[in-house]
Structure 1
């Protein structure tokens, strides 16, 4: 995977020559003397015999200097170079242009990633890879001894600043250490070109987004949700941020077109509850959750009886998409019902049902899409279910811009720069959908043309 090459060192006025440089000078002097002596020998015939032995000695000295030169050159410091995927001709051309941006001035003065030694300035190895669509890639910089892990976020900003000229459409969005910690990969992408899906408002508008693999759902041009890898999803957004349109008008309908069984439950009655045969009464929502628990148990028994491991190995066992919207209102309503009649214990029944579905439902093809305005325990799911639904998270509008909200479902990313998100805009973090979606990334819900 890795090949070897020698480190590049920039010679300065005060730098000490390396061993091979001494022998390079000696070789040049010896060759020069050999050429001069050869010319004198051929020009003055009287000295031809006398100079022959001396010329042979100089030729031997040339050969010895050359051998020592190669020997000391091979003993220079070796560095690892990273193996990058194959690129198209256009990608290679753009990668070369991008690599030239990270010149000696930017490496030494801006990023300060060079090492000053007695032999000169040691420079890190740099490799660039760009995807076929020319919209994303990575810059791999050698993990020099002067890297400080806590400063990686600062390096992201500096590198984005370096790209702000000719390549201002690119911005560094993520970073990682390679295996063996030899290089740091800084992933960049085109942030000026929107990846939002445009949906025409007609009956068959979603047909073009249907995929052959029914377990994958297209959420954006560069984002596919692999529901067999990450089965549950959380959607957090304030009122009028576009969450219901995304969940009901796009996601639920797309699931139906791909052969899913879809049910849309919401504590606030709306068009999607009616369209997808859901419930809006709190007690009935709990009963539907308990009903799907019984379906889950039945499916588990069928899978075990058939000697299978996964539900998609079974015939006639389609995916099930269960939407639970307005969870904050649902929790408040259930709490009020328990206060009026403590014997019904609706909150406990709801917690038990949703925890079971979120923990075991994935094995039977049941997918929960939990939707709320807030990600807190009171406004969203109980702790266990929230953890089970945290691998695929979409936060829109003000919720995405709130560090307090992100700590519940996107913990560890409180320091994301503040942003003003428009309608249907926010952050998404979906495991199993590619490297860049493993951390919170800018996301736009599909746009419906009226």
Structure 2
């Protein structure tokens, strides 16, 4: 809901008075002139005559003053959600950081007029946990011409110091382009899940919604909304721990069926009944296409639209790891025996699964060291698996890698990521995850 009030204008050197300010002065002068006339008049008749003219002038000036007051520019202000007392107090402190000097000199989000600098309205909101929120600044300057990234850095700079734990992570214009929202969060408090190494280690992270997989304290992957997930990370960056040790086991606890296929035989292939032979991996993909068709037929017969509306149709998590090795192996097989066309079979199967599997409850978790066509999925499958992406280590810091799966976010500041650290962009998981955001994989405490 929007409410209205008059715009604040900060006076500058050589600025002119606004119309209502001018007539405030004129009205005050006419009042004093009236008082002087009363005292300096020699006779009652002369005083009465002059007072009639003076009162008339006062009335006219007052009416003009009311008119000019009503003509002042009204501005739309941003109504924020209700906050707790602690959040409200902190929001007021943050709002005071954005004084006139910061707005005009640092952010340059004011307008210069002959009457002075027009100042935008500012509101601040924080969640009750005091971990994230947004700063709403009225868009009265040329935001469309601004360097968005620099503006976010400048706002973060204003928060530095006492509130340096907060940093701007994203910004956008509101509907109607009336306000700029700078989303910020506590970047010094880790959101990483700490997992104890015991039989019940994953119990605290189980979700009441079986379709939802918790990835960190502030990130939930809703597989019924975004059915496919891509994980890109170099060797020893933490992708296998995230996929096999954490996600696959958590899925089992939440009632999923899990299969882990990898062209490099490892412990998770054995643990989750997968395949490592390239031809057998392709055959498993084709098998799951038939399962998908049967499921879709049952859903159609029941008059439903998705598997979530069906009874006894659990989610299926299909892990395909080391896709770069798989692609290279399939190409070699095709060269040796051109009649097999195993690469075409793989492309057909994985494209079908990625395009339609979500409606049948089949979720592909595609894992590779590189996001390129040669090192990852075929083009169509890559597009279908690009709405939920996790990139760890050097892959997250590579613009060439991000352009394949995080289109539009190739140009980002350089950053060094440690083991298990990187970027995540998962649609359907909240506003901040619609853009690449810092992410840490669950940490297993083996002590």
TM range (shorter): over 0.9
Q: Where do 1:395-410 residues align within 5 Å?
A: 395-410=391-406
Q: Who is 2:258 aligned against?
A: 262
CA distance in 1, matches of 2:56, 2:202: 80
Per the alignment, in what secondary structure is the counterpart of residue 413 of structure 1? coil
Q: Where do 1:265-344 residues align within 5 Å?
A: 265-344=261-340
Report which stretch shifted further, 429-438 or 138-147.
138-147
Report how far residue 31 of structure 1 moved: 4.2
Q: Who is 1:186 aligned against?
A: 182
CA distance in 2, matches of 1:193, 1:303: 44
Decide whether aligned partners of structure 1 residues 185 and 53 sit closer, same or farther in structure 2, where only a CA change above 3 A counts: same
CA distance in 2, matches of 1:136, 1:53: 69
Q: Who is 1:9 aligned against?
A: 9
C-alpha deviations, 1:289-312, integer Å up to 9, x for none?
Answer: 111100000000000000011111
C-alpha deviations, 1:306-348, integer Å up to 9, x for none?
Answer: 0011111000001111000111111111122222222222111
Report how far residue 84 of structure 1 moved: 2.1
CA distance in 2, matches of 1:87, 1:57: 56
CA distance in 2, matches of 1:146, 1:334: 53
Residue 426 in structure 1 maps to residue 422 in structure 2:
yes
Query: Structure 1-normalised TM-score?
Result: 0.94
1:154 to 150, 159, 171: 150
Report which stretch shifted further, 22-31 or 433-442.
22-31
Report how far residue 30 of structure 1 moved: 3.9
Per the alignment, in what secondary structure is the counterpart of residue 176 of structure 2? helix
CA distance in 1, matches of 2:217, 2:5: 39
Residue 128 in structure 1 maps to residue 118 in structure 2:
no
C-alpha deviations, 1:238-296, integer Å up to 9, x for none?
Answer: 11000000001111111111111111111111111111111111111111111110000
Residue 23 in structure 1 maps to residue 19 in structure 2:
no
**Unaligned 5+ residue runs, structure 2?**
none
C-alpha deviations, 1:66-120, integer Å up to 9, x for none?
Answer: 4432321110122222222222222221111111111111111112222222111
Report which stretch shifted further, 305-314 or 128-137.
128-137
Residue 105 in structure 1 maps to residue 101 in structure 2:
yes
Report how far residue 199 of structure 1 moved: 0.8
C-alpha deviations, 1:379-419, integer Å up to 9, x for none?
Answer: 11111100000000000011111111111111222221111
CA distance in 2, matches of 1:68, 1:150: 40
1:208 to 200, 204, 220: 204
CA distance in 1, matches of 2:249, 2:192: 18
Report how far residue 52 of structure 1 moved: 6.5
Per the alignment, in what secondary structure is the counterpart of residue 4 of structure 1? strand
Report how far residue 63 of structure 1 moved: 4.9
CA distance in 1, matches of 2:431, 2:445: 31
> Is 2:109–2:139's contact at 8 Å kept on the other side of the alignment?
no
CA distance in 1, matches of 2:49, 2:89: 55
Q: Who is 1:413 aligned against?
A: 409
Q: Who is 2:82 aligned against?
A: 86
Q: Who is 1:199 aligned against?
A: 195
> Is 2:110–2:141's contact at 8 Å kept on the other side of the alignment?
no
Per the alignment, in what secondary structure is the counterpart of residue 351 of structure 1? helix
2:436 to 414, 421, 440: 440
- Number of equivalent positions: 446
CA distance in 2, matches of 1:34, 1:202: 91
> Is 2:191–2:217's contact at 8 Å kept on the other side of the alignment?
yes
Report how far residue 192 of structure 1 moved: 0.8
> Is 2:168–2:185's contact at 8 Å kept on the other side of the alignment?
yes
CA distance in 1, matches of 2:316, 2:104: 56
CA distance in 1, matches of 2:185, 2:59: 52
Q: Who is 1:140 aligned against?
A: 136
CA distance in 2, matches of 1:59, 1:90: 54
Report which stretch shifted further, 217-226 or 156-165.
156-165
Report which stretch shifted further, 390-399 or 167-176.
167-176
C-alpha deviations, 1:111-165, integer Å up to 9, x for none?
Answer: 2222222111211222222222111111122222433435111111111112112
C-alpha deviations, 1:183-213, integer Å up to 9, x for none?
Answer: 2211111111111111111111111111111
